[in-house]
Amino acid sequence: MTTPDDADQTAGDEHSPAMIRADLLAALALIILAVAMLYGSWTMDRLELRRIQPLTAPGLVPGLLSAALLVCGLILAIRSMRLPAPGGWTSLGAAITSGPARRVGVVLLLALTYTLGLVGLLPFWLATGLFVFAFILVFETWLAEPRRSLLQSAPWAIGIAVATAAIVTFVFERAFLVRLP
Amino acid sequence: MLDGLGLLLGGITHFLTPLSLFNIAWATLLGIVIGALPGLTATMGVALLVTLTYKMAPDQAILCLMCIYSGAIYGGSRTAILLAIPGTPASAATTLDGHPLALQGKAGLAMGLATTSSALGTIIGIIALALIAPLLAEAALKFGTYEFFWLALFGVVISGQLTAMDDPLKGYIAGILGLMVAMVGMETLHAHQRFTFGISALGGGVDLIPAMVGAFGLAEILGVMKRTVHARIVSSGDRVVPKFNEILKYWRTTLRSGIIGTFVGIVPGVGEDVGAWASYAAAKRSSKEANLFGKGSQEGLIAAETGNSAVVPGAMIPTLTLALPGSAAAAVLIAAMFIHGIRPGPLLMTESPEVLYQIVAVLLFSTLAILIFGLTLTKPLLTVLAVPRERLMAVVYVLCVVGSFAITQRMFDIYVMVFFGIAGFILREMKFPMAPLVLGIILGDLLDLNLRRGLMLTNGDPTPFFTRPISAVICLIIVFTILMSIPAVSKRVKAVLGRGKKEEIPKQA
């Protein structure tokens, strides 16, 4: 179910030109995945040496599933190609390079730097503090409308960063005895 | 029957301890807060809290998770009424009438009615849970390998169909993708490793909790941060506690919505949002004041809130008796139960019948807590709504990371979370529903194992899958569901049915 403010900002509604074209890309990705998995299932060890009933081979269900996905992917692709979508590619391109997409990109960049880069490199509490601080600052002083001034935002960002780092580390390492990464 | 009553009383008294009551209070309140904060959903709340309740005793852990679940489904109504943003997808139907009521200066009345309707809806669902679950569990004892294969397939198909009403194809694709994820790792019949690509961490398969934290946590964060809209809170000072005649005026709607919600809950993988929409539509169709719907109808608000809350106990019926999750959050609950050594399924009622009645008791207590908190804590909950999401989401992401790491303490689970977060976000943006995907992940093993075990038992002969009575019925339902989702077929069937109706009308006249 979409919320009212969702509908006008996403790539589009059910049958908007952009969505129809996006479906085609998704269908292609699904078909590739299905074919790859079908190949994987077909060539999977059928355990003939262990003399199992041939129909209980491990590749049976993955094979059936990839066949089903292949059918669904083809239907999606054909449907997408048959529906008229004037200006679909341009509006899809616009959706991918739009402001909302940039915000998503920034969130991902911050999140991935934190999880794949900082965690493990720095102590967990420091990585967490840095991430929270950067996240709040970026979205309050740069990617916000209206923007806040650095002076307004920074104390909050520091406060929340320190509190989160301290509480999470304390709760998990002391109370739950989890060795954080 | 009397046995059941005894067990139910046992369940209630079991939780009449200070520790349990304390846990009920904080967990329900936390649930309400999670539900009220846009971007934090019930499923995400339950998935994150699995980690926090990991070290608790099994009964207390399940108690906390259940309270969070039902609290969050209720909590979303607060945001729906005051901000016109559903706090969780379950309250999307609530916004239609709740927010207009608030704009008319009746925010207090709307919040009060939402609270009482939620409570009544849960109670209708609880009664159904206590009555139907034991019967279903008994019937399920007759289910064999063949039936469980079809049930698993049925769950994914029906969930795909109903969670993507206008485009079932995408629902099916999501379901198949979920089932495919479940194929990764060691299979249980011959202990063969599938699709692990030499990565030893994949040998155990993809864990449900990190996958859910990603698909409902990180994906949700990305969805929330994408938007720049800021909503304004409508406040008003009118009375929150509703009068009895305001609650009872639409008792038919309450009862109908409760039953619809419970039924939607029983259907595997179809959750609170569908329950709310279905009972809202039914109420609108049969209401004398249908023209008021969408403009601040109290009846519409009652229908939506009763409908979504009744789904919670309803969803527990297949979850406990068949291990078929009735909703996305129930899927996390199944994973949590396994962690705590409780095995839901047909044997639950024979192995540990008290679990069912303890869950009934927990739901009763949490309903009571929702009533108390909902009708008294109006002001404090308002401050929750004012928390800026920039600050909240940063902290939530940290919890996602810790939450997916803490259970098995592997970095690999964090990568799983990130992968499912990004994939989930892209799928969601393209209108693929998440519930069938989750259902697929949890049912994949059941489907795979039972199909091949059935074939092993018959030495390769698939006939029992189609000739055993229960199997045949489920198989026919699946075929019918898929056929009806093909536009060309459903159009023709409807045309045939429509012709039948037209012929009947003159006869009646």
For an interface test with A, the pick among B99, B270, B395, B414 (most A C-beta atoms closer than 10 Å) comes out as B395
Residue corresponding to tokens 């920039």: B390
Among A104-118, A125-139, B165-179, B229-243, which is the least confidently predicted range? B229-243
Angle, CA of B52, B53 and B58, to the nearest 5°: 170
Q: Which residues of A touch B273 (CB under 8 A)?
A: 1
Backbone angles phi, psi at B35, to 5 degrees: -65, -35
Listed by start position, the domains of chain A span: 4-96, 99-175
Task: Flag whether pLDDT at B505 surpasses 50.
Answer: no
What distances in angstroms separate CA A13 from CA A20, A175, B172, B434, B503, one per listed residue?
A: 9, 47, 19, 17, 38
User: What distance in Å separates residue A49's CA from the closest CA in chain B?
Assistant: 12
Q: Is A159 exposed, middle or buried (0-12, 13-18, 19+ CB in 10 A)?
A: middle
Confirm or reject contact between B259 and chain A (CB < 8 A): no
Tell me, yes or no, if A117 comes closer than 8 A to chain B by beta carbon: no
Contact at CB, A65 and B176, closer than 8 angstroms: yes
Contact B171/B163 with Cβ under 8 angstroms? yes
B391 or B116, which is more confident?
Answer: B116
Instruction: For chain A, state the CA radius of gyration.
Output: 24
Contact A168 B399 (CB under 8 A): yes
Nearest of B15, B78, B37 to residue B373 by alpha carbon: B78
pLDDT for the residue A14: 57
Residues 6+ apart with CB under 8 A from B468: B144, B146, B147
Chain-chain contact of A73 with B227 (C-beta, under 8 angstroms):
no
pLDDT band at residue B426, thresholds of 50, 70 and 90?
Answer: very high
Q: Which residue of B has its CA nearest to A130?
A: B394
* Closest in A50, A52, A145 to B228, CB measured: A145
Put simply, the answer to whether A72 touches B169 (Cβ < 8 Å) is yes
Q: How far is B180 from chain A (nearest CA, A)?
A: 7
pLDDT at B311: 95
Percent of chain B predicted with pLDDT > 90: 52
Q: What is the pTM of this model?
A: 0.88
Q: What pLDDT, on a 0 to 100 scale, did the predictor assign at position A53? A: 83
User: What pLDDT is stored for residue B507 in this prediction?
Assistant: 40
Packing angle, helices B168-183 and B435-457, rounded to 10: 60
- Give me chain B's average pLDDT, please: 89
A143 three-class SS: coil
Comparing CB atoms, the residue among A40, A53, A76 nearest residue B455 is: A53
Least confidently predicted of B18-22, B428-432, B497-501: B497-501
What phi and psi, each to the nearest 5 degrees, are found at residue A13? -80, -175
**What pLDDT, in 10s, does the model give residues B326-359?**
999 999 999 999 989 898 988 888 888 889 999 9
Please give the Cα distance from B401 to B411 (Å, whole number).
Answer: 10
Q: How confident is the model at residue B55 (pLDDT cuts 50, 70, 90)?
A: confident
Phi, psi of B186 (to 5 degrees): -70, 125
- Collect all residues of chain A within an 8 Å Cβ-Cβ radius of residue B433: none
Rounded mean pLDDT, A25-43? 93
Per-residue pLDDT, averaged over A93-116, amounts to 88
- Interface membership of B177 toward A (CB under 8 Å): yes
Q: Is the Cβ pair A72, B414 closer than 8 Å?
A: no
Which residues have C-beta within 8 Å of that of residue B323, sequence separation ≥ 6? Answer: B334, B343, B344, B345, B446
The neighbour count for residue A78, using CB atoms within 10 Å, is 12
Nearest-Cα residue of chain A relative to residue B85:
A3
What is the pLDDT, as a whole number, of residue A5? Answer: 36
Supply φ then ψ for residue B185, to 5 degrees: 105, -170
Cα(B158)–Cα(B289) distance, rounded to whole angstroms?
33
Q: Does A179 touch chain B (CB under 8 A)?
A: yes
Question: Å from A90 to nearest chain B CA?
Answer: 17
Give the mean pLDDT of B287-305.
91
Which value does ipTM take for this structure?
0.89
Query: Is B54 an interface residue toward A (CB < 8 Å)?
Result: yes
Instruction: Tell the residue number behind the tokens 């698939």, with chain if given.
Output: B462
B120-124: average pLDDT: 95
Cross-chain Cβ contact A139/B399 below 8 Å? no
Among the partner residues B190, B221, B460, nearest to A58 by beta-carbon distance: B190
Closest partner CB to A53 (pick from B194, B227, B456): B456
Please report the number of interchain residue pairs, chain A to chain B, with beta-carbon separation below 8 angstroms. 176
Tell me which residues of chain A, numbers 118 to 157, contact chain B at a CB-CB cutoff of 8 Å. 119-120, 128, 131-132, 135-136, 139-140, 144-145, 156
Using an 8 Å CB-CB cutoff, list chain A residues near B95: 3-4
Is there a contact between A178 and B406 if contact means CB atoms under 8 Å apart? yes
Which residues have a Cβ under 8 Å from the Cβ of A39 and sit 6 or more positions away? none
